[in-house]
Amino acid sequence: MNTPDTTGRNDSEPDAPLSHLPDRIRRSIEITPTACTDERIINITTVARRTGRPRRIEIFFYRAAGATYLCGGAGGAATDWHANLLANPHFTFHLGNGIRADLPALATPVTDPTERHTVLAEIVADLNQPRPRHHPADPTRRLADSRLMRIMTRSR
């Protein structure tokens, strides 16, 4: 399934098939709703936008709409990883949890409102998060301003 590129750039495609990766690595990225928290945690190394130094953080990744995503900063909170990827979209996607792999990757910000809504709704459904009573019926509303990046893993 191809997700439209909402940035106007044409240098990336969603990694839906992940066919260029060995099976064990592909399977660890193609998580399903039954995946436990540990299976969703990775590290990423970005290039710091001010210093140019590598910055490694732990973060959750998600599979939605046939692609891989990083999402964070609920409520619009600024995140360094997001700002670093906006400045330089090339980074390293580090798998853990029994599968060790350092994959070159490319991040594309998801800015199209329809795509954001679709992806965030799928992430919320995947996590099966209950909605608190004081939140509106749309579970993606509280995540509407989250930082959302589509990830394409690349061959070395």
Residue ranges in the chain whose pLDDT is less than 50: 1-16, 130-131, 134-136
Pull the structure tokens for residue 66: 């046939």
How far apart are the C-alpha atoms of 68 and 73, rounded to whole Å? 17
Element of type H or E holding 68: strand 67-72
Phi/psi of residue 54, nearest 5 degrees? -70, 140
Domains and CATH numbers, the chain: 23-153 (2.30.110.10)
* Residue-level pLDDT at 76: 73
* Residue-level pLDDT at 95: 93
User: CA torsion, points 49, 52, 56, 59, in degrees to nearest 10?
Assistant: 20
Could you report the per-residue pLDDT of 63-104, keeping only the tens digit for each?
998 899 998 876 777 889 999 999 999 999 999 878 899 999
* Residue-level pLDDT at 65: 87
* Residue-level pLDDT at 81: 95
Cβ neighbours of 43 (radius 10 Å):
14
